[in-house]
Amino acid sequence: MLSFASPSWQTSVLSQVPKPGPLGSGAARLASLIVPRLYLSDYFTAHDEKDLTRLNITHVVSVLDRVPVIPDCISQENKLHISVSDRADADISKYLTQTTEFITAALAESEDNNVLVHCFQGISRSATVRA
């Protein structure tokens, strides 16, 4: 039997998105305000410097199986990457203490801080992570 490597579905989506920006930010969904100063979105929004600036995002939690490209408007110490696959059997629970501590510390640090939590589509993995 022959077997051919196939790209992940995320890679396939990225390759088909029009690319007005570095990653195709034109495909972004809007970020959703979950509680005051905590937003949920997809990868495209998290990659769009204009969206991050418009929302006054100061901290980003990325819940992806790939290393995210987050604009430099977010300092390196204000980025948290949790590598989790988009699969039903992925154990995201082992990261919840770390993500909760990061989000809680960011919000407590300053009234001006806003946190964006994202995964690829902004639906499953990111919605599991919260403060």
Give the residue numbers annotated as catalytic, written as ranges. 119
Is residue 86 a contact partner of residue 120, using CB atoms and an 8 Å limit? yes
Rounded Cα distance between 71 and 104, Å, is 22
Alpha-carbon dihedral sign for residues 18, 21, 23, 26: negative
CA dihedral of residues 34, 37, 42, 46 (deg, nearest 10): 180
